[in-house]
Amino acid sequence: MAMLEVHDINVYYGAIHAIKGISFEVNEGEIVTLIGANGAGKSTTLKTISGLLHSRTGSITFQGENIAGTAPHKLVGKGLAQVPEGRAVFLQMTVEENLEMGAYTRPNAEVDPGLEKVYDQFPRLKERRKQIAGTLSGGEQQMLAMGRALMSSPRLMMLDEPSMGLAPILVDQIFDIIRSLHKNGTTILLVEQNARMALSVADRGYVLETGKIVTSGSGKELLSDESVKKAYLGG
């Protein structure tokens, strides 16, 4: 069953038509990825789902409810969490304070068990829990942003360019974490420049070009699709 259904959304930045009538779905328990060049509309799509931008048409349905026009903080309470591009951690706060911010929609009784769960998943964060977030490496900040999203107990986690700016060894680590989150039951919508890595973990993928979906298929199908290989996989 579709956990998220995006139907015929059109999004504009002023006069620029950024998203042109796209439709797709994410089923419960899947990793679905949106791939495409810079400026194809991937991040804009995520921002529209999470209520930061608005579509002029169509509908966005999450767990059977049309959420178009719902305030972003209310969506977190409904089980939708976004890990933003560029991580956006609170640089002056400690690791643990950042994580606690992620639990603002949860009852107080859930905060400590939530922290334990995140520290199990991210032992590095546990080691650094009293450290100021601004002093962490890029990879650690990405882990913190993911851990913070996990604190809201999301049904669907949306990741916007999690590997951006990271060294290859850290990219591998982040994708191992994505696999592990998925194995533990989190449904994931992944926007990612590293198309090869994204398709290797995804159940299904959609290819965006200039605001339109031009190809879709299983991760395996898209990895072996000649046009996708040529455009996004370096041959």
Placement of tokens 């916007």 in the chain: 160
Backbone angles phi, psi at 66, to 5 degrees: -75, 115
pLDDT tens, position by position, 16-69: 999 999 999 999 999 999 999 888 999 999 999 999 999 999 999 999 999 988
Query: Beta 59-62 vs 2-13: how paired, if at all?
Result: antiparallel
The greatest distance separating any two alpha carbons of the chain, rounded to the nearest whole angstrom, comes to: 52
pLDDT tens, position by position, 159-176: 999 998 888 888 998 899
pLDDT band at 201 (very low <50, low <70, confident <90, very high): very high
Do the beta carbons of residue 127 and residue 48 sit within 8 Å?
Answer: no
Q: Which of 20, 62, 91, 57 is nearest to 157 (CA)?
A: 62
Question: What is the identity of the amino acid at 26?
Answer: V
Do the beta carbons of residue 91 and residue 130 sit within 8 Å?
Answer: no
Mean pLDDT of the chain: 91
pLDDT above 70 for 130: yes
- Tell me, yes or no, if the pTM score tops 0.95: no
